Amino acid sequence: MLGDQYLQLQPVPSKTFSMAPSADCHRLLHINGPTVICHICYPVIPVSTTRQPTDMSSQEDTGAEQDPVPVEPSSVPSSESDATSGEIITVTIGATVPTGFENTAAEEVKEKIGADARISKDRGRIYFPISTDKLYQVHLLRSVDNLFVVVTEFDHYQFKESKEETLLELQQLASQLPWTNALEVWKLNGTLKKKKGHRKGGNGPKEKRNSDVMGERVADAEQLQQPEASPAEGLTKAGSGSDVETSTQDSDEAAPENKLIKFRVTCNRAGDKHSFSSNEAARDFGGAVQEFFQWKADMTKFDIEVLLNIHNEEVVVGIALTEESLHRRNITHFGPTTLRSTLCYGMLRLCRPQESDIILDPMCGTGAIPLEGAIEFYRSFYIAGDNNDMAVNRTLNNICHIQKQRGDKGSASGLPIDTVRWDLCSLPIRSSSVDIVITDMPFGKRMGSRKKNWDLYPSCLREMARVCRPGSGKAVLLTQDKKCFTKALTRMGGLWRRLHTVWVNVGGLHAAVYLLKRTTEMFGQTPEDVRESQGSVHPEGNTEDKELS
Amino acid sequence: MKLLTHNMLTSHVKGVTKGYPLLIKATEVKVNEVEFNPQFVNRMIPKLEWSALVQAADGLGQRQDLPSELIPDYEKNEEFLKKVHRVLLEVEVIEGSLQCPESGREFPISRGIPNMLLSEDEV
């Protein structure tokens, strides 16, 4: 493949790119270990061996992944960067995260991996460097839905005018990309997953939330008692992600080289100026990949998933490291509106649960949020509640499932969480005793209704204010009915203060997560409270005053 | 239902002013192992109604000589903290009921879940 000899700039053979180099080229550089490639004119330029991809993210954000590289001829490859000898290499990992929580995810990456993550212009994606000796750490991340290793990135890919030319170029691209390191990482990742009995978040068809899914998941989860490597791994919801065993596992399974590798290409395309569809790109690029590697294409039972992500001029080629999305990991018993765990994690992180915080979810549904908290932010105590009988039972079942898994592994199984059936407008909880209220409020589309929200939201917010500790208490509330929410909030300005809002996308709906602070005002004494308790609640708040005699 | 949760729960029957603490009537109790964290217990104690906790534990026969009032310097007393940890997090009421001390209204506990819903005329 690509050696690290210094090649004279010369016209590129028409097989690869049809652009002639110019003196002022090297406009589109990609760093691949010890070498740098200009993807426009395509010579290979060795760089100083201490150069790491991390340097790219610490540049001021022009959004460009490729920076002008000081061209220093060097012919001594660093052993650290030698991909083929099994030594430690550094690669860029891409992760998809719930839109709106990119910063939260970057924070988690910084905290758990120590790397500086870069947020893509294509929302819902972050990128960060990691060395292969630390690769297992990516599986400890709770805020990411999917992970992939980057093969190559183009910040400003110049697509051809016509569809035919563009697709042809994509095909040609396949054989030119620096696959080696990414494939090494993919292989390594495969062994890691076997070792830890990896959790496949298992979502199947996207965002399927109805109760049909429930039966399926429970059956699969029951079967799956051995976390060890087996071809029929099925779907598991192991919630405790931090139990990576480092003992050497059996590596009996055939190394990928010994058997025919099956692959598929998944293309995500966004932008108005493309002349081709994602299917066409996937098909043509995939065809070329198949040619080049002599792998077998298989859309459903594949070993390698190649990702081709095109967002306007940004093109990223990657290899998936997660099989199914991790985002429903804790939940085996779904309900109609179960939130994905990565979103729950993002919300929890936003309010920074402290040790021994009492955290309430007064509309817990299937318990996704408090359960994620009980697992990941386990130094707090969670009380999950709902008025619906099925909901509390599902919550309990989800909790029991996780506890049983933990018990089976021999650790103390109990989680710091309890479930209660209650009416959230009249919570059976002592005043000022809760530190954080966190919940997914009814959207009015999948559950409840817009009209109901008009009455529900103000009562809700009041009750939450009552139980929340004045001065230090917080609330993290997810809702799609932003208008109703903000209106209800202005009527309790005395009790809650808005700290921050995160705009998110939940199942295609544009929603918001509001982070609120409980003011020091005592409940029942602010002017709004006095009016509320005297008059009845009207959707158009300003008629209230007329009610008072 | 753990006793930590019980410590937070109160009766909200209409008109009731002294709805706390709820009286526990348990027909089935379980003890689960939960990882002990002394700091957690330390920081939780000031948030509790201590006498309600002791009373509840006593009622279930799980008091383990916890004092009626908090002893000074409990923060460093690991043995004490472990006992508190146990009654707060490890003892669970699975079946039974919670009774409002003023109105006598009973809230059933089933599978460890207290049902605190009031009927329409009670609200």
pLDDT tens-digit readout, A446-462: 555 666 777 788 888 99
Nearest in space to A400 (alpha carbons), one of B96, B113, B52, B64: B113
Mean pLDDT within A46-69 = 39
Find out whether the peptide bond into B21 is cis, omega within 30 degrees of 0: yes
The two beta strands, A29-32 and A474-479, are unpaired
How many CB contacts within 8 angstroms connect chain A with chain B? Answer: 90
| pLDDT at position A192 | 82
- % of chain A residues with pLDDT over 70: 63
Q: Does B5 sit within 8 Å of A379, measured CB to CB?
A: no
**Interface membership of B113 toward A (CB under 8 Å):** yes
Long-range contacts of range A277-281, CB-CB < 8 Å, 24 or more positions apart?
Answer: A278/A310, A280/A163, A280/A167, A281/A167, A281/A170, A281/A308, A281/A310
Mean pLDDT within B21-49 = 95
Contact A141, A134 (CB under 8 A): no
CA dihedral A535, A538, A543, A547 (to 10 degrees): -20
Q: Which of A354, A360, A381, A436 to mutate to test the interface with B (most CBs of B within 10 A)?
A: A381
Helix extents (H) in B15-119: 38-44, 50-59, 78-85
Mean pLDDT within B21-30 = 96
Mean pLDDT of chain A: 73
Nearest in space to A362 (alpha carbons), one of A329, A332, A395, A336: A395
The 10s digit of each residue's pLDDT in A362-407 is 999 999 999 999 999 999 999 999 999 999 999 999 999 999 998 8
Full-model pTM: 0.73
A181: part of which helix (H) or strand (E)? helix A179-196
Q: Does A387 sit within 8 Å of B117, measured CB to CB?
A: yes
Residue written as token pair 């028409």: A14
Contact A414, A403 (CB under 8 A): yes
Residues 49-68 of B with CB under 8 A from A: 49
DSSP annotation string for A122-164: STTEEEEEEEGGGGGGGGG-SS-SEEEEEEEEESS----SSHH
Contact B93, B26 (CB under 8 A): yes
| pLDDT at position A324 | 63
| pLDDT at position A447 | 57
| pLDDT at position A43 | 53
Higher pLDDT, A335 or A404: A404
Q: CA A468, CA A473: separation in Å to the nearest integer?
A: 6
Contact A227, A197 (CB under 8 A): yes
A433: part of which helix (H) or strand (E)? none
Contact A419, A394 (CB under 8 A): no
Of A28-42, A234-248, A437-451, A463-477, where does the model show the most confidence?
A: A463-477
Phi-psi region of A38 (alpha: psi -120 to 50; beta: other; left: phi over 0): beta
The 10s digit of each residue's pLDDT in A72-87 is 333 333 333 334 445 7
| pLDDT at position A74 | 35
Q: CA A390, CA A396: separation in Å to the nearest integer?
A: 10
Higher pLDDT, A71 or A163: A163
Nearest in space to A2 (alpha carbons), one of A29, A27, A36: A36
Q: Does B20 sit within 8 Å of A430, measured CB to CB?
A: yes
Q: Is residue A545 predicted with pLDDT exceeding 60?
A: no
**Interface membership of B114 toward A (CB under 8 Å):** yes
| pLDDT at position A453 | 73
Kindly tell me the number of DSSP H helices and DSSP E strands found in chain A: 13, 18
User: Quick one: tokens of A34?
Assistant: 């010890």
DSSP label at residue B22: P
Higher pLDDT, B5 or B12: B5
Q: How many CB atoms lie within 10 A of CB A531?
A: 15
Assign A219 a pLDDT band (cuts: 50, 70, 90). Answer: very low
| pLDDT at position B42 | 95
Q: Which amino acid is at B34?
A: V
Contacts of B9 in chain A (CB under 8 A): 420, 428-430
Residues in chain A: 549
| pLDDT at position A115 | 94
The 10s digit of each residue's pLDDT in A410-453 is 888 899 999 999 998 899 999 999 999 999 987 655 555 666 77
| pLDDT at position A325 | 54
Q: Which of B31, B47, B103, B107 to mutate to test the interface with A (most CBs of A within 10 A)?
A: B47
| pLDDT at position A528 | 59
Mean pLDDT within B64-85 = 91
Contact A513, A500 (CB under 8 A): no
Q: Is residue A2 predicted with pLDDT exceeding 70?
A: no
Residues in chain B: 123
Nearest in space to A344 (alpha carbons), one of A161, A101, A547, A171: A101
Q: Is residue A50 predicted with pLDDT exceeding 50?
A: no
Least Cα separation, residue B8 to chain A (angstroms): 6
Q: Is residue B23 predicted with pLDDT exceeding 70?
A: yes
Mean pLDDT within A295-320 = 91
Least Cα separation, residue A531 to chain B (angstroms): 20
DSSP annotation string for A263-304: EEEEEEEE-SS-SS-HHHHHHHHHHHHHHHH--EE-SSS-SE
Q: Is residue A70 predicted with pLDDT exceeding 60?
A: no
- % of chain A residues with pLDDT over 90: 42
**Interface membership of A371 toward B (CB under 8 Å):** no
Q: Is residue A489 predicted with pLDDT exceeding 80?
A: yes
Mean pLDDT within A288-298 = 91
Contact A353, A329 (CB under 8 A): no
| pLDDT at position A87 | 77
Q: Is residue A226 predicted with pLDDT exceeding 90?
A: no
Assign A349 a pLDDT band (cuts: 50, 70, 90). Answer: very high
Least Cα separation, residue B65 to chain A (angstroms): 24
| pLDDT at position B71 | 86
Q: Which of A359, A420, A425 to mutate to test the interface with B (most CBs of B within 10 A)?
A: A420
DSSP annotation string for A48-106: -TT--THHHHTS---S-S--PPP--------GGG-TTTT---EEEEEEE--TT-HHHHH
What residues are paired with B97 via a beta bridge? B25, B108
| pLDDT at position A233 | 30
Three-class SS of residue B25?
A: strand
Q: Is residue B32 predicted with pLDDT exceeding 50?
A: yes
| pLDDT at position B123 | 67
Nearest in space to A330 (alpha carbons), one of A387, A277, A404, A423: A404
Assign A14 a pLDDT band (cuts: 50, 70, 90). Answer: very low
Q: Which amino acid is at A211?
A: S
CA dihedral A78, A83, A86, A90 (to 10 degrees): 80
In angstroms, the first-to-last Cα distance of chain B is 24
DSSP label at residue A471: T
Mean pLDDT within A148-163 = 91
Q: CA A303, CA A254: separation in Å to the nearest integer?
A: 12
User: Quick one: tokens of A366?
Assistant: 């299937």
Q: Is residue A105 predicted with pLDDT exceeding 70?
A: yes
Mean pLDDT of chain B: 93
User: Quick one: tokens of A190?
Assistant: 């495969």
Q: CA B85, CA B66: separation in Å to the nearest integer?
A: 11
User: Quick one: tokens of A250?
Assistant: 């059996």
User: Quick one: tokens of A335?
Assistant: 């309900």
